Amino acid sequence: MVIVVIIAFYAISFIKKDKQSVAVNNFDLTKIKERGILRVITEYNSISYFIYKDEVAGFDYEIMERFAESIGVRTEYIIAHNHQEMYNFLRQGKGDIIATGLYQTNESGVAYSIPYRKSEQVLVQRKAGKYTRKSDSTTSYYQPIIDIKSLEAKDVFLTLNSPYIEQVKHLADTLGFNVNINLVSDERSIEDLINAVADAEIDYTVADKDLALTNNSFLGNLDLGIQFGKEKDLHYATRKSSKELQIILNEWLSHFIKSKDYKQIANKYFKFDRKIIDQFNETEYLTKGQISLYDNIIQYFAKSINWDWRLVAALMYQESKFDPNATSWAGAKGLMQLMPGTARQMGLHTGLYQPEQNIQAGTKYLQYLEQFWKEVPDFTQRIKFILASYNAGVGHIQDAARLAKKYGYSETEWDGNVEYFILYKSNPRFYNDRVVKYGYARGSETFNYVRNIIKKYFYYTDNINDSTNLDFALQQKDLIPFNGIDGVYNPSVGLLQERVRKELFVSKKLFEQNQDLVPLNKKNNPFDKAPNELFKEKGKSKKLFEQKSTLFRKNDTLSNQQLMIKNESKINQLEPR
């Protein structure tokens, strides 16, 4: 009887699983429309999906929003940690479509869309100019190379398991040059290496062009002109069984990628310069005892929230360089660069470019953030949490505070504690941590944002006296050293502070295959050397070449197509050392 019950239990379980599998396989466009929700599988990164100033953004996110609108449904996003997890979620029916750039592979049960963009690898280096390395303040002039062969004997930095290692080796072997590959820990992301190039810590790395362009929209000093691989198609993916969804997605994409809307989205994420151009003559105003044209308005609204107006002015300089018409890549507007959603939350629905209305809404938002961080006891530290939240959004700063607490640092101290964990928010190990709710963030921007505003504030207090603000002025704090987490690179110091594993790759190709065999380096012909310097004996004879060359003489007893090595070199019995 017991055996019968067990068999029945497993039979029912099998039938149930089979029914679930059928249900997943049959879930297509018609049922998606009935449900009213398109479930989109994606991952946190600076291209596909991220949260900026508490609003969702991303190239693939914006495309999916438009696609969902075209089929009359809303979206729901399922975040995976890697590509394999995305494929698993798709097969399990947790989502309907994968929306991030995928190369076409042989994944079972998966159908790829038509290509919606292309990707290629590029050499990441700096533009020509004088650069100061942040870690040790040394200054030097950098001249970018103009072709790949100029990487001869240069150091290229890659992560330990980088997909580009074999590509760099293959290209060096094909073209016949030597390159030093420096492998850093996988705790470093590709974006960390791109930033290290921009900061003059290293000179070269390799990255997907789209990722490099996105980072350069913040950095502005990268040269991405040297292609390091063939351009490849990128796709979205659906289940093979979702035939209707495949058809409608491909039809929609074929039209959308040719549209002006698609071009605007691509420019926004890959080409828009995310730095506000500084055309403000600060010295001219300071000599008159002013900070800007808007001092009176700033003073009035800063007083209403008990802030030193010079601190509000420092924030405004960082945000817009006092340009009332400034607009960011993400749509933030005006002197205080308010996002439309934040402006509405503060009661401002129109007039974002009007200085008085913009400053009023901006200071009101600062007051809201101060209330949010009221549990931070120290006033100066609380101000820094507020500034960081103004830049990145409250969610990312909460994440950084939770990470700080998890690793034994203070969650209510910005200096030397939470500020370093906002830096780690661009590292997959940390933004995929269970305590993190808002995923990827470009933490270096927020880290520098707070420091730049505080530095500017003290510069203004040195030049603009105002005794009325003494009760709520910030304290000057010394920077606290940070040793980083064990086994994880310390992002507050330069890459060169970390020991890296250097792999010297020497090309194995000696000759180009032309009508005649010609040494690659004609100025340094290896056969000018004595044979015993270049070759060592080998047990068995090995034929190396088939084409004619002045290195060989004919053997009349053999066919005209065969060559015999000159006796003095005995190359067939030898191999390069």
Mind listing the pLDDT tens digit for each residue in 106-134? 999 999 999 999 989 999 999 999 998 87
Task: Look at the chain and count its residues.
Answer: 577
* Domain tally, the chain: 4
Q: Above 90 in pLDDT, residue 521?
A: no
- Mean pLDDT calculated for residue range 385-406: 97
Q: Quick one: which of 31, 165, 28, 43 has its CA closest to 101?
A: 43
Helices (H), 277-339: 282-286, 295-304, 309-320
Q: Above 50 in pLDDT, residue 549?
A: no
Residues 239 and 208 in one domain: no
Q: Quick one: which of 45, 107, 112, 111 has its CA closest to 82?
A: 45
* Cα 317 to Cα 387: distance, rounded to the nearest angstrom: 13
Given the structure tokens 């094909």, which residue do they identify?
174
Indicate whether 426 belongs to any domain.
yes
CATH code, domain with 374? 1.10.530.10
Residues 144 and 51 in one domain: no
Q: Above 90 in pLDDT, residue 78?
A: yes
Active site residue 62: no
Residues 213 and 97 in one domain: no
Query: What is the rounded (10 degree) CA torsion for 116, 121, 126, 127?
Result: -60
Q: Which residues are within 8 A (CB) of 330 and not within 5 positions of it... i.e. 6 or more apart?
A: 52, 53, 55, 57, 339
Write out the E strands in 6-53: 37-43, 50-52
Q: How far is CA 247 from CA 38, 113, 185, 238, 253, in A?
A: 15, 9, 43, 10, 10
Given the structure tokens 């997959």, which residue do they identify?
428
Residues 205 and 335 in one domain: no
Angle 22-27-30 (CA atoms, 0-180°, nearest 5)?
140
**Which one of the listed residues 107, 187, 201, 319 is annotated catalytic?**
319
Indicate whether 417 belongs to any domain.
yes
More confident residue, 479 or 434: 434
* Cα 460 to Cα 289: distance, rounded to the nearest angstrom: 10
Residues 200 and 244 in one domain: no
DSSP assignment of 547-561, as one string?
A: S--TTEE--TTS-TT
* Helical (H) or strand (E) element with 60: helix 59-70
pLDDT tier, 546 (very low <50, low <70, confident <90, very high otherwise): very low
32 touches 73 (CB < 8 A): yes
* Cα 136 to Cα 431: distance, rounded to the nearest angstrom: 29
Chain segment 137-147, per-residue pLDDT in tens: 789 899 999 99
pLDDT at residue number 555: 47
Residues 346 and 449 in one domain: yes
Domain that holds residue 6: 2-117+233-270
424 touches 444 (CB < 8 A): no
pLDDT at residue number 531: 52
Residues 248 and 383 in one domain: no
- Mean pLDDT calculated for residue range 344-355: 91
Chain segment 146-198, per-residue pLDDT in tens: 998 899 889 999 988 788 888 888 888 888 888 899 998 777 788 889 989 99
Domain edge (last residue) among 462, 493, 524: 493
Is the full-model pTM beyond 0.85?
Answer: no
